[in-house]
Structure 1
Amino acid sequence: MPSIQLRIFKMTMTTPLKEWSEETILSMIKDRVQESLELDYKECPAIFPLTEGKKKELSKDVSAFANSAGGIIIYGIKENGHIPTEIDTEFDPNALSKERLEQIINSIIHPRINELLIKQIELVTTSPGHVLYVVSIPQATTRAPHQATDKRYYKRFNFESVAMEDYEIRDILRRATTPDLHFHFYLGGQDTVPIQFSQDQPFSEEVDMIIAVENRAEEPASYAVMDVFIDSALKLSNSADLAMTNNVFLTLKDEKISFTHLSKNWSIPSKLPIFKETNFRITDIPIKLAIPKDHADSEVIYYMCVWQIRSPGMINNGSFAFVLKDSYLTVAKP
């Protein structure tokens, strides 16, 4: 994979929020991870001291993420041209605690955002005794849309929170009546597996790749069109009842990349409806995956993967990477 694509992946891949640390933030600054629809940087004065005017802006920003695709706001980072430049060290947890911030957010946005998470990160090396806050906001579904303190509804657009049009509000209201399907990818039922290479074989020993689908909405899915694109550098076999097409090219970040395309139509009565909080494997047996032998000695390699699921009333898509490092393959989740 070209180095530019590797860098894009390093910039877009994130660890689970509970594992974020000061090192995570410093890495984002070093890699110049740009703001996006799903990422925003705010300096400390954006919410501290927390005046009524700042509470209004806080409600606009957080509700806009929920009403859009969800995402993360990091309070305590300075940026220039949407690129992070340094940590802002003004937050004193004794003056504004994580619990207080969470309480305020829950009181100024209606209805309350379920599953909103806040991570308080200690600035152990940058500024001992000080912190910054990472706010993880899920995309609103059953309780959408969310209203700010000025009684308006906002969305993310061009790095900003802007008021929504009437038709956009109506579209979000329909989220509660449509499925919300997402993929999960596992290696032998885990996130990480060892890779074994043989001297006389062009590929590694095969490992199991499991693809599961989850519905996060109340409305069950009776029909879905599923597409998964796996980096062509990986050898796939035993694709079971998935249709497989090799050397499918997609253009991402202005770069044409080759993928192996796996597809499937899910429908009743041959398959059960996909109900909320269920997790179905999309194949009865695992897909087999192998790594090229000439990648065995590489320091780290990223294999790009993208997916899309369509069901009546919804289209979801996403990306992730398989990461080969020290003879272990990991599912790097966004």
Structure 2
Amino acid sequence: MLDLNSKADLQRLVDEGLEESLTLDYKASPALTRDGKGPDELCKDVSALANSAGGQIIYGIEEDKATAKPSKVDDGVVDNKITREWIEQILNSKVQPRMDGVRIDRVDMETGKYGYVITVQQSQGGPHQAPDGKYYKRFNLQSVPMHDYEIKDIMRRSTTPNLAVELSLPMKNKIQVEFPPHMELSKTFFLGVKIINKSPTPANHVIVEVVVDAAMTVPFSLPGGFVQRGAVDQPHKFNIYRWTLSSPPGIPVFEGADHESHFAQIPLQLPSSLLHSAIIRFGTDVRAPGFSKHEKWAIHSEGAILTLYPPHHPFVTTS
């Protein structure tokens, strides 16, 4: 999720031209209103994110409808009776069942008014019903009604594992790679891979695959961790590395648990040809009985500095 705390943060989105996505929704401040259908529209849009992959709604940025890009930061919400507490009260009273994991941040627009950033986590207690009695999802940059099979799929979230793979680099997902003199490959660094479970249902058998941009070099394999399982060439060339966990003899993946056996590493070397403004693509797949999930990641190289971007970050979704 984007870290948005100030008007300057919102202006940065406009300057960079970050497009709307399934997890990012721009709205001009007048859309947040206590009149007419305003509260119901708020509930519809927030519940749609919770029923989908989660995301953020930003009130205070006008959008170019033709390009889905932000056009400008506006002056903020005019009605001073609209507060974080009011938004929370509306969501809690009008969306059924109540949504967990919703955060509301107020942004000072430096005009005496405020914008709002609503951050929504993917729900594990849904599906959530909007005030009109319908269930919505985020699709094609809109909130649209869900089909019956989609509603049933969300209901299964609370009875099956809900796994995710987290990739990491040292130093808060950044690293400065080093090159030995006259060498085309950097010194080895490590991509961390961790399995987490967001459901109370434990996962006893898990398969994790990480697809690595074939431009990267994996100099050696780690015992007990990943093994190479082939390659794919659509639309880019990737090498596939698989990690299998089973309980017994291993430890199940429990909700909120952080066990060392659920963390592994992939050694990497960066070719010198990717030193300057290159996008290095990665993908993660995690499967367990009754569950599967695929996500895209990216590393951006700028000189010798590598920065890892997570799924749904606008840098990943627009690259």
Q: Deviations over 1:10-39 (max 9, x none)?
A: xxxxxx444554344334334433333222
Residue 167 (structure 1) aligned to one of 131, 149, 170 = 149
Which residue in 2 is equivalent to 1:43?
A: 28
Aligned pairs for 1:1-334 within 5 A: 16-48=1-33, 50-79=34-63, 80-81=65-66, 82-92=68-78, 94-124=80-110, 128-141=111-124, 143-188=125-170, 190-240=172-222, 241-245=225-229, 248-251=232-235, 257-280=236-259, 286-296=265-275, 298=276, 300-333=277-310, 334=313
C-alpha contact (below 8 Å) 1:214/1:280 kept by paired residues: no
With over 3 angstroms needed to count, the CA separation of the structure-2 counterparts of 1:113 and 1:40, relative to structure 1, is: same
Report the alpha carbon displacement of residue 94 of structure 1 after superposing the two structures with TM. 3.9
Q: Deviations over 1:127-179 (max 9, x none)?
A: x33332221111111x1111222233222233222233333322211110011
Which residue in 2 is equivalent to 1:7?
A: none
How far apart are the structure 1 equivalents of 2:104 and 2:264? 38
Please, what is the CA RMSD of the aligned residues? 2.5
C-alpha contact (below 8 Å) 1:238/1:286 kept by paired residues: no
Task: For 1:89, give the aligned amino acid.
Answer: D
How far apart are the structure 2 equivalents of 1:325 and 1:148? 44
How far apart are the structure 1 equivalents of 2:7 and 2:297? 23
Task: For 2:82, give the aligned amino acid.
Answer: L
C-alpha contact (below 8 Å) 2:297/2:309 kept by paired residues: yes
TM-score under structure 2 length normalisation: 0.86
Task: For 2:285, give the aligned amino acid.
Answer: Q
User: Which is worse superposed, 197-206 or 209-218?
Assistant: 197-206
Report the alpha carbon displacement of residue 44 of structure 1 after superposing the two structures with TM. 1.8
C-alpha contact (below 8 Å) 1:242/1:283 kept by paired residues: no
Task: For 2:32, give the aligned amino acid.
Answer: I
Task: For 1:227, give the aligned amino acid.
Answer: E
Task: For 1:329, give the aligned amino acid.
Answer: L
Task: For 1:278, give the aligned amino acid.
Answer: A
Report the alpha carbon displacement of residue 83 of structure 1 after superposing the two structures with TM. 3.0
C-alpha contact (below 8 Å) 1:43/1:77 kept by paired residues: yes
TM-score under structure 1 length normalisation: 0.82
Report the alpha carbon displacement of residue 62 of structure 1 after superposing the two structures with TM. 0.8
C-alpha contact (below 8 Å) 2:54/2:123 kept by paired residues: yes
Report the alpha carbon displacement of residue 245 of structure 1 after superposing the two structures with TM. 4.8
SS of equivalent to 2:201: coil
How far apart are the structure 1 equivalents of 2:264 and 2:171? 12
Number of equivalences: 307
C-alpha contact (below 8 Å) 1:212/1:282 kept by paired residues: no
How far apart are the structure 2 equivalents of 1:309 and 1:267? 13
